[in-house]
Structure 1
Amino acid sequence: VLSDRYGAQILSTIGALITATALFSMSTLNLHSSMTSIMLRLGLFGVGNGIFQTPNNSSVMGSVSKNRLGIASAFLATMRNAGMVLGIAMGSAIFTNRQMFYESLKINSNSAFLFGLRDAYIVAGILSIICALTSLVRDKINKKNNLEKDGV
């Protein structure tokens, strides 16, 4: 309903920015962070993902003809799953690498764990900002491609 009113482009961009804010906020967690603080950050992350996903999916599905909806749906699900798998793998690699780096500096294991986690959240936040920027320009690219198809 919101995407019909405001458009998928702006809602997806806002959702990605909220997600980035949550990820950067999670990078500030420390040994003394309360459960409430953690839950609020995770809740904000969920809200950002929800605001991004729905209009983005709607935009993708709305951009194909009816006879290709099954293909588009399958492709969308495949890309979503591939993104989750690659995101977890990349986040884990960054976390593990950075934790080992901090431990090599003789930082205690709890702090090294948090520093590695912080670095992984920062990279994820940067990727969410890139997502927001690409979401912001996608309608401009689609309009340009449509004009070129129409010979304008």
Structure 2
Amino acid sequence: MVLYLQYNRGMTPTEAGQIMMLQAVMMTICAPIAGRLSDLWGSRVLATVGCLIIATGLGILVQVNDRMPLVVIAGSMMAIGLGHGLFSTPNNSTAIGTVAAAKLGIATATLNLARQCGQLLGTAVLSLLIAIFFDGRSITPQGYKDFQSVAVWALSISLAFSLMAAWFSSRKG
């Protein structure tokens, strides 16, 4: 999204970053609250709802085009941040809570490794999509429509993974 906002919407890196920052702000606000709520209600419902909220935000962004109001994009980023906040803390708590105290370091490292692998895979998929759509060409104004396609494909893949995560979260018990 940050590249789409810069290339297709003509935003500066700072302006695009401010919109992207809304996701992090929402996650920062929601994650501690979700931790307290998961202590009361358990993690299954919160993690599942979080994934579905992420999917809703991504579902809106999949329809991104040059006419979509920036407020809709910003709202979608906030929804994704809310969803991440609701998902991450309960999910991590459940993962760590199932491990013996002597193995907490290993469990935490494994959880961090999984997160880093997900980020690495996301970067690889985005790079692959850019390579497919641009075939070695530079991203120029003539290719911005292709870059919009890259964004839609990347968001669609993310949406599919969010829905799978919601399904798996709803099944754990």
Which bracket does the TM-score occupy, shorter chain normalised?
A: 0.7 to 0.9
Who is 1:13 aligned against? Answer: 48
Q: Residues of 2 paired with 1:13 and 1:54: CA distance?
A: 12
**Aligned residue type for 2:169:** S
Aligned length: 133
Which deviations, in whole Å up to 9, do the C-alpha atoms of 1:53-112 show, x marking residues without a partner? 000000011101111111111111111111111122123323542x349xxxxxx62222
Who is 2:57 aligned against? Answer: 22
Q: Residues of 1 paired with 2:95 and 2:166: CA distance?
A: 16
Where does the alignment leave 5 or more consecutive residues of structure 1 unmatched? 102-107, 140-152
Where does the alignment leave 5 or more consecutive residues of structure 2 unmatched? 1-35, 136-141
**8 Å Cα contact 1:17/1:48 also seen in 2:** yes
How many Å apart are 1:5 and its aligned residue? 1.8
How many Å apart are 1:9 and its aligned residue? 1.2
- How high is the sequence identity, in percent, across the aligned residues? 32
Who is 1:120 aligned against? Answer: 154
SS at match of 1:33: coil
**Aligned residue type for 2:162:** S
How many Å apart are 1:123 and its aligned residue? 1.5
Task: Confirm or deny that 1:43 pairs with 2:61.
Answer: no
TM-score computed with the length of structure 2 as normaliser: 0.70
Which deviations, in whole Å up to 9, do the C-alpha atoms of 1:7-26 show, x marking residues without a partner? 11111111111111111111
**Aligned residue type for 1:114:** Q
**Aligned residue type for 1:78:** L
Task: Confirm or deny that 1:135 pairs with 2:141.
Answer: no
Ranges of 4+ aligned residues in structure 1 off by more than 4 Å: none
**8 Å Cα contact 1:91/1:124 also seen in 2:** no
